Structures are given as structure tokens and as C-alpha cells.
Amino acid sequence: MYLLFCVNTAAYAAVSPIPLLVEQCLSYQFPINNDLANNPTQQAIQFERDLIGFFNINDRLKYYRQFPLTYADRERVLQCQLYLADELALFFKSAKFQSLRFNLAASQDPNIQALIQRLNRLAQNTEKPYQKAQLHTAQAAFKQGIASQALSINFTGEKCQINPGTVKIEQKGQKQAKRFDDTLANYLINQPDELCRKHVWQAYQGRASVKNQTLLNQITELRALQATQAGFNDYVDQITSQQWLSTPSAVIQFLHNQTQAINIAPWDLGRKLAQSNSTPVTAYSSTMWLEQVAKTLTTFAISFSKVNNKLYRVYHEGRLLGEIYLNQGNRAKAKAIRHSVVGQQFGQFELSLPENLNRYSQQNRAIEAIANIISQLGRGDKFYLNNTLGETQDSAQIDQLWLQTWLKAQLLPTPMPDSKEAILQHYSVQLQVFRAKVAFNTYMAPDNGNRFDLNNEFTLAFGKSWDNITDSAYSFSGIVYQGPLYYQTIWQQAVARAVYLATKDCQNQQSIFNNLVVNETASDLATRLQLLLGEPITNDSLIKRTQYVFNHQDQHPRRCTFLRQ
């Protein structure tokens, strides 16, 4: 079945599709057929056909949640998502699922083996309804606290005040109060006194600490209980046991290897950037830029067919992958509407782009968005879960991030080491590394000997101290959503970069794309990485390869080890 799901933001605003979608959602039932129990191949195909409606409803709910919904529609969508999650949890506990899992496990088909691996992981991580409700409520409240931009700082003297024309000054008793709202960045750029910048930055980072401390304690207690019930020492042990970096010590080794002294304190970053030059790029309209991308992607036998100014069809080696709906927006962004499944349905994505892409940052974000779309459309499996879930959570986006790296190398100039872009890249890496250490500490048992010394780790990277280092746990929402897996983005970026460096001089780049992104044979990641990197893959060897990948100077030999040249 191929349903054209045309998206138009204006039409959405006029007539909300949420009531109809919710009606479909709440009436959905799992139509699992057990008649083919003795044939795992047929049963897997039947399973896919039965659940494709479930997956599509879920994806459409995620898509619509990105719009500014009314309160009533937001509540409807939430109700629907909870219903689907509960139905899925009931299915995983059912005799039908146990029968399905038993039969699929007997298959030697690599695609089915990959499918059962993902089903088992989903079933293993399905939370109890009561715990799930507690967890999601606490996470949402924590995020709301982080999102608050309101901050008042009382200055007892004139030293830390700056030009009243830059910020709003209010009288509170006999003290001067500085209300920041959206002017924190301006203050950090314009305040010449480092001690003042430091005090203000630290106060801003701790703005939600009082409110969010209770919430974070509640979340960590729920996670600790979950880990104990599953037989693990703590939640870090439990969650890493399911990942590519399968032990806490492997993650700790990676984070230590990624720690580099950039010696730029967070409160000094704004002034450093203000004194740096931007990397110049060729300006394009969004239409011209998309044409440049399409031309570049022909290297992988990817082609675009323009239906009209708002609709493009994407093909790989002549096979239709799906459609891209082009919208104008302030920032480049990719939104999944429906995922492609070979033999079942084509994919659909919305791509928002600014009218003109004049700056490096705009083109950089646009490349990330298009790489997201092409990598997801290009995955060549016949099962939805194999195309949308990685073998592990910390390996699911390596193909997408490799494609980003490849496209940036083709379409963007290399930033100079002292440019805004280079400084931001190095800073963001170190910030992610530090926060990953904070998240690890937060979910470790108090008596765990592997805990990081956060004061020391902050100083190692940024060259300065953070007086109230405990506030670091309340300064980013990823600590309650990704938790100990906060490291996964920087890890996958590093692996993707290592793959790019090892294969960038190979003549047959299409084979690399087919191996890493399409993966029609459903080969596991270790097999694919071994082929691409030219050596057996272990955690130690891969971590060593990632140690210097974010340096501007290429320290890897310029040779191709990929076998299929």
C-alpha cells in the first residue's frame, strides 16, 4: 500500500489531523497471526505486515509532536503514545510474542537474526507502566526546569555591571539586579572581567539545581531499582551491557582518550569567538544548494527527481527510496514522516531549509539534515526495525554520521584552526565528553570505584575550575533522557570519522556506501567495520583509532584498505 502523505504546514494549521490520527491510534489492535508458526521466514514477513500500521502511526505521532500543538491536541497525542507503548508492552508479555521469538530464533536468515535481536532488546527494555509514568513525568519536569531562561543575579557593587544599554537593570532594595533572559551571551561577550563572567556563567548553569535536584534523585532511584531487579550493580552496568562499548571501563577508556586540553573556559568562549573569523563559504539559495547536493550524491548512485518545487523523489541505483517534501524554515531540519521498508513502503521525509544558505553554520546544518534523510531512506532491509534501530543504541547512527562527514568534506571548506567553526567544534566535543562523565557519575552506585573526579576532569579540558561542580548535573536535559548513554553521540561521531579517514581515498565510494548504509545483506557492524578498516575490530583497537580523529591534521596514512575497490 502506498499512500501519498503530503505535508503542508498551512493546511495543518487550518485543519488539525490529530483527532483522526488519535482515533486510528486508540482503535489499533495487534493483529498477530500464529498460523505460520512453523515457518520462520513466512512468520517474519507476516509479522512485518501486521505491525507496519503500528509503526506508521507511531512515526506520524512523533512527526506531529514537532509542531506547536494546542493543549487539547498535545494531550491527545500523549494519550495515544502512552496507549501504543502499553499495547506494545502487553504484546511483549504475551504467549504470541514468545512463540514468535522462539520460531524466529531458529532461522539462519541474517535479516531475521537481526530482527529478533532488535525485538529482544525492545522487550528487555520495556518499562512497567507505573515506573514509566513516574519516569516520563520527572523527565518532562526536569527538562522544563532546564528550559527556563529567567535568571536574576544580584550585584552588591558596580564591578560586574556593564553598559545599561546592553542589559536591563532593575532595582531590588538597595542592590542592582541583572535580568538576563536572552542576554547571557551578550553579557559574557561584553564583560571584560573574567571573574564576573565566571560568576554569572556558574549562576546560570545552576539556575535549576534547587528545583531539579529532587527530580534527578527520583529518576536515578528508579533507574537503580530497575538495574537491581535485573541483577546488575547499578544502572551504568545494566545499560552498557547492551551496547557496543559493553562495559563501563570501555566507555571510561574512550572518554579519557577523548579528553584534550582546549584551555577555553565556557565563560570565555563568547569573547574568544567574537575575536575569531568565520570560515567563508559560497552562498546558495536552498534550491541551488540542493542541486549541488544531488550532484555530489551521484557518487553513490543516488539520484533526485524533481516533481515540483516542493517535492523530490530519491532513487538509488534506479530503485525508488522515497520522497522529500521541501519546506522553508529558519533552520535546516529533517523530519521523518514514514520510514522506508523494502517490499512494503517507500519513505517520506520533510526537509526544512532557509531560503538562502549564506553561512558555514547554515550549510553545515543543512548537510546534517540531508545526510539524516539519505541514510534512513537508503537502508535496504525488508524489516522496519532493522532499518530504524541499530544493533545497539551506541552504534545506530554511525552510517548517518559517516555520510555527514563525507558530504562536509565534499561541500564545505576545511575550517582554519583559529576560525569560529574550529573553536566551536573542539569546544563542543570537550563539553560533550565532560557531560558524559557527569552522566556516568550520576547513575553509578555511590561505592563504585570508577567514578570520575569531576573537578579534575573539568580543569583538564577547559583549563579553569568550576566552583560549584555539583551544578553540572542540573545543567543539561540529556542527563535524564540519555543518562549514561550521553557518550553515544561523540562516540559514534568518532567512529564515523575514523571510517571516513580509512576509506576516503578508495576509488569505489559507492561500495562503501552500500556496505555501511544500505547493508542489504544485513551484515553485523563488526563485520562491516573490519572490512572497511582492514583489521579485526575490538573495543581497544577502535577506541585507539578514535583518539585523534577530531584533530585538523590528518594523522592517518592516506591509503585505502577497503577490499572492494
pLDDT at position 125 over 80: no
Terminal Cα-to-Cα distance of the chain (whole angstroms):
38
Check: CB of residue 32 under 8 Å from CB of residue 91: yes
Task: Determine the pLDDT at residue 501.
Answer: 92
Mean pLDDT of 264-289: 95
Dihedral (CA of 264, 268, 274, 278) sign: positive
Task: Determine the pLDDT at residue 532.
Answer: 92
Amino acid at 266: P
Task: Determine the pLDDT at residue 534.
Answer: 87
Task: Determine the pLDDT at residue 549.
Answer: 65
pLDDT in tens, 484-493: 999 999 999 9
Pairing of strands 302-308, 311-316: antiparallel
Burial of 216 (0-12, 13-18, 19+ CB in 10 A): buried
Residues whose CB falls within 8 Å of the CB of residue 311, separated by 6 or more in sequence, listed in order: 6, 323, 324, 325, 326
pLDDT at position 4 over 50: no
Task: Determine the pLDDT at residue 6.
Answer: 42
In the 8-state DSSP scheme, what is residue 325? E
pLDDT in tens, 452-463: 999 999 999 999
d(CA 511, CA 564): 7
Amino acid at 426: H
483: left (phi > 0), else alpha (psi -120 to 50), else beta? left
Q: How far is CA 178 from CA 188, 190, 467, in A?
A: 13, 14, 21
Nearest to 269 by CA among 189, 192, 206: 189
For 87-104, letters b (16+ CB in 10 Å) and e give bbbebbeeebbeebeebb
What distance lies between CA 465 and its chain's CA centroid?
29
Amino acid at 80: C
Q: Which three cell numbers stand for residue 490?
A: 561523540
- With H, G, I as helix, E, B as strand and everything else as coil, classify residue 277: coil
d(CA 327, CA 520): 31
Q: How many CB atoms lie within 10 A of CB 3?
A: 9
In the 8-state DSSP scheme, what is residue 59? H
Q: Lowest-pLDDT range, 8-22, 79-93, 403-417, 478-492?
A: 8-22
Mean pLDDT of 303-329: 95
d(CA 499, CA 512): 10
Check: CB of residue 340 under 8 Å from CB of residue 376: yes
Task: Determine the pLDDT at residue 153.
Answer: 58
Mean pLDDT of 139-165: 71
Mean pLDDT of 292-313: 96
pLDDT at position 393 over 80: yes
Task: Determine the pLDDT at residue 207.
Answer: 87
Confidence of residue 36 (pLDDT cuts 50, 70, 90): low
Q: Lowest-pLDDT range, 87-96, 240-249, 335-344, 360-369?
A: 87-96
Confidence of residue 165 (pLDDT cuts 50, 70, 90): very low
Q: What residue has cell string 491527545?
A: 76
Element at 320 (helix H, strand E) = strand 319-328
Check: CB of residue 296 under 8 Å from CB of residue 407: yes
